[in-house]
Structure 1
Amino acid sequence: MNNLLASANVPMVAVSADLRIRRYTPSAAKMFNVLPSDVGRPIGNLRPSIDIPDLEALIGEVVDTVQVRERGVRDREGRHHLLRIHPFRTADNRIDGAVVVLLDVEEVTLQAARLRQKAALIDLSSDAIIARDRDSVITFWNHGAQDTYGWTAEEAVGKVSHVLLQTSSPGDGADIDALLRSRDRWQGDVTHTRRDGTRILVESSHVVYRAANGDVLGILEINRDITDRQRMIDELAHNAAELAAADRRKNEFLATLAHELRNPLTPLRNGIHILDMIGNRAPEAIAARDAIKRSVEHMTRLIDDLLDISRITRGHIELRRATADIGATVKDAVAEFQAMADTANRKLTVRLPRDPLYVDADALRLTQVVENLLHNAIKFTSEGGKIEVALTGDDGHAILKVRDSGIGIAPENLSRIWEPFTQADTSLERERGGLGIGLTLVRTLVELHGGSVAVHSGGMGKGSEFVVRLPSVAGQRVRAKTDRAPQSKAQPVPLSGHRILIVDDNTDAANSLASLLSLMDNDVRTANDGPEALRIAAEYGPEIILLDIGLPGMNGYDVARALRRNSANGRPLIVAVSGYGSRQDMERSVEAGFDAHFVKPMEISALQEFLTAHARG
Structure 2
Amino acid sequence: MEYNLQDLPQISPVSSSATPPAVPSSDKLDGQRKLVEQELQQRDQTIRLQANLIELAHDAIIVRNPASRIVSWNKGAETLYGWAAHEILGQVTHTLLDTRFPQSREAVDNILERKGEWEGELIHTCRDGRQVIVESRQVLVRDEQGCPAATLEINRDITERWLRDAKVQALSETTRQMDEFLGIASHELRTPLTAIKGNLQLAKRQLNRMLKQDGITKEEVASTITAVQGLLDRAERQATIQNRLVNDLIDVSRIHAGHLELQIEPCGLTGIVREVVEDQRDINPTRTILFENPTMEVPVLADIDRVGQVVNNYLSNALKYSEETRPVEVRVELEGSIVRVSVRDEGPGLPPGEQERIWDRFYRAEGVEVKSGSGVGLGLGLHICRTIIEQLGGQVGVESKEGVGSTFWFTLPLVQSSGS
TM-score relative to the length of structure 1: 0.34
Higher radius of gyration, 1 or 2: 1
TM-score relative to the length of structure 2: 0.48
Q: Greater relative contact order (Cα 8 A, min sep 6): structure 1 or 2? A: 2
Greater helix proportion: 2
